[in-house]
Structure 1
Amino acid sequence: MKLKYFLIGVFTISLLVSCKSKKKLAEKAENIRKEMVIKSSKDTLSNSISNTTAGNSTIKNTTLAYIETFKDAAMNEMRVYEIPASITLAQGILESSSGNSQLTKNSNNHFGIKCHKGWEGGKIYHDDDEKGECFRVYDDPANSFRDHSLFLTSRSRYSKLFKFKKGDYVKWAKGLSEAGYATDRRYPAKLIALIEKYDLHKYDTEVLGKPFEIVPDANTFNHIVIKGDTLYSISRKYGLSVDELKKLNGLNSNDISIGQTLILSE
C-alpha cells in the first residue's frame, strides 16, 4: 500500500514538473513569437521608409527623363489642338508623378482623367477624391496625351482657355483650375512652378517659331509686386490663400510694396 502511494506521489510530482516545463516552454515560444512580430513590423516599417525614400528619389530623377520622352507628343498636341506643350507636360508630370504613380503604371493614364459619362474604353478603379473612382485606361501613353487634348477641346467649360494668347501658360494654368480640372487650390502655382523650373515653355516657343527666353530664377516661382497689387489679389491669381502667401514669404502683416518679390512656391 505504501508503495502504491509512493508511486502515485512520484507520478503527481512528475506531472506537475512536466506541466510547469510545458508552461515555461509555451511562454518562451510566445515571447519568441512576439519578438518575431516586433522585428517583422520594424523590418516592414524600415522597408516602407526605404521604399518611400527611394520612390521620391526616383520621381525626382525621372522627371527629366519623362520630359525627354513625352516632349514631342506634347508639342504635336499643341500643333493640332493649340494646348501649350508646357501645360501638357506640367500636367503630365504632376498628375502621374513623372510616370511613377500606380494609376499611370496600371492604366497609361497620365492626366488623371476619370471615366465620365459616355466613356466606352477600358476602366480601372482607384481611390482619389472618393474611394474607388473610375479612371480611363489606355493601351499606349500616346493615346492618353491625345485623349487629354480631346477632353479639353470637347468641353465647353475649357473653351475660354483657347482664346488666350498662344503659349500663355500662366493664364492656362489659372484657367484650368477655375474650370474645375483639379480641386487643389494650388494647382496653378504647381503647374507654373514646374514649367519655370524645367523651362517647359521652350517647347511652346519651338512650336510657335519664337525665340526662347529663360525665366529668371527658374527654380523658384516668383511674383514682382506692381501698382494695385494686394496679397489677396495675388493669392487669387495663383491659387493660394493669403495665409499661405504670407507663410511662404515670412510676412507678419498684409503690407507689400511695389517692386517687392514674393515667392509663390516652396
Structure 2
Amino acid sequence: MGLALLSACAKNDNYEEPAETLTGRVIDNSTGQPIQTESAGIRLRLEEQSWNNGQGVIPQYFNVKPDGTFNNSRLFKGKYKVYPMDGAFVPLVTTTTPVIDNSKTVDISGVTSLEFNVDPFLKVEWVGEPVVNPDKTITVQCKFTRGTTNPAYQFNVTDVFLYVSTTDFVSNASYDNRFSNQVKYNGTDGNALLGQTISITTKGTLGGSRTYYVRVGARTADNVNKRYNYNTPKPVNIPGA
C-alpha cells in the first residue's frame, strides 16, 4: 500500500508550463502616451473564457509597470477577457447602471499585444524645469487639469505631492519623507487651482554631490482607490559644497 502511494506521488505533472506572453500599454487619453503610475498602481485583470464560457473562473491579476506598460510571459494559451483596473482613471468596466464594459477579449497565443485607452482623473504637467536653490532645496512648477469630461468622475482635488527619491521609481510607493512635500486642500479649495501654475519646494536640505529624482502627483477624492495621477520623473543634480 505504502509503495503504491509513493509511486502515485512520484508521477510527473504532464501539463506544460505556461509560456504565452501578453504585452502592451495603457494609454492616457489626455497625453496620447502611456499613463504615468506607480508600482502596483494599476492591475490588469484576466478572466479566462476558454472554460465554461468564463463562468465561475477565478480571475488572474498582474501589475502594470510605473511607465504604463505591461508584460506577462507566464500565461496559458487561451481566450481571455482583459482590462486594467484600480488606477486613477475612469473605470473601463463597471457593474453599475448602466453597465459599462470596455474590456477586450483576445486569444492569447505566442506573443499577444494589447492597448487600452483611459481617461485619467487629472492630467499633471511640468511647467519649466526644477530649480536648485542656494539652500539645496528644489522648487518645481506644475499644473493639473481635468483628464475627463465625465462629471461623475470629476472629484474634488484633495492634495498635490512633490516626491523626492534617489531612484527613478519615485512615487507615492517610493519616496524620501525627509524631503518630499505634500500640500493638502480642504473641500473644493483645490479645484480653484485647476489649470493654474503652482510652485512647490522640497523640505529639508538635500545632500550634495548626488542625483535625486522628483515627480509630482495630484489626487482627487475618488471613492475607491484614491490613487495619484503623475507627471514624468525628472533627475536633478545637487552640487557639492
Please identify the structure whose Cα radius of gyration is greater.
Answer: 1
- Ranked by relative contact order (alpha carbons within 8 Å, sequence separation 6 or more), the top structure is 2
Global fold match (TM > 0.5): no
User: How does the TM-score come out when normalised to structure 1?
Assistant: 0.29
Give the number of the structure whose residues are more often strand, by fraction.
2
User: How does the TM-score come out when normalised to structure 2?
Assistant: 0.31
